[in-house]
A and B are shown apart, each in its own frame.
Chain A
Amino acid sequence: DAGVIQSPRHEVTEMGQEVTLRCKPISGHNSLFWYRQTMMRGLELLIYFNNNVPIDDSGMPEDRFSAKMPNASFSTLKIQPSEPRDSAVYFCASRGDAGNTIYFGEGSWLTVV
């Protein structure tokens, strides 16, 4: 099993630019989570999809953030326009129907300068 795959692993971008982070969940998993991790706030849930449908997006900080899941094997998190305070590690995670364990990707390290 390849695990949750995220890209890019590292991104440095200038303030105001659009950033798109990508995620491929584990095959067969029907729940997908986007989390953001910073030193100040720890690991925060941004959005949760179940069967490709956004169920809880209460953690999305503002309208600059959007997430999509067009099919069961792909999701994107977009930030437009990006700001320095968006600098963080963004994790995608997935979960199958049978359990409660979530499996994380290795994260996308975003730096906005």
Chain B
Amino acid sequence: SQKIEQNSEALNIQEGKTATLTCNYTNYSPAYLQWYRQDPGRGPVFLLLIRENEKEKRKERLKVTFDTTLKQSLFHITASQPADSATYLCALDRSGGSYIPTFGRGTSLIVHP
């Protein structure tokens, strides 16, 4: 069956360090992968999209890598700040190019001042 796995344990880091979050998947052949941020009591907000033929994507302090051989994406936040504390979800489109996003359960990031 199709699975998207994100670390269920919260990631605690110190301000200024780089946060790295992992998204692993099985039985998917996604055309793209997305990362979203969700704050408590709010809906998820889109951050970055990376396509299957792209290895890396950057946006300001954010960097995403996508390894379709390992079936893994890494999401990096450099120079992290307490305001980056949130839950980060990865999403893949369902196999077959249906472009229906299926979400992982997310990883909570806590950045300590």
Considering the chains assembled together, what is the distance between the CA atoms of A104 and B45 in angstroms?
7
Contact A42–B103 (Cβ < 8 Å): yes
Interfacial residues of chain A within 70-113, with CB under 8 A of chain B in the complex: 91, 93, 100-107
Contact B93–A48 (Cβ < 8 Å): no
A-B Cβ contacts below 8 A, count: 45
CB contacts (< 8 Å) of A93 on chain B: these are 43
Contact B100–A104 (Cβ < 8 Å): no
Considering the chains assembled together, what is the distance between the CA atoms of A45 and B91 in angstroms?
12
Chain A proximity mask over B54-94: 1 for CB below 8 Å, otherwise 0: 00000000000000000000000000000000000100010
Contact partner of A100 among B89, B93, B102, CB < 8 A?
Answer: B93
Considering the chains assembled together, what is the distance between the CA atoms of A35 and B43 in angstroms?
11
Considering the chains assembled together, what is the distance between the CA atoms of A62 and B46 in angstroms?
30
Considering the chains assembled together, what is the distance between the CA atoms of A93 and B99 in angstroms?
14
CB contacts (< 8 Å) of A100 on chain B: these are 32, 34, 49, 93, 99, 101
Contact partner of A106 among B43, B100, B102, CB < 8 A?
Answer: B43
The answer, yes or no, to whether A12 is at the interface (CB within 8 Å) is no
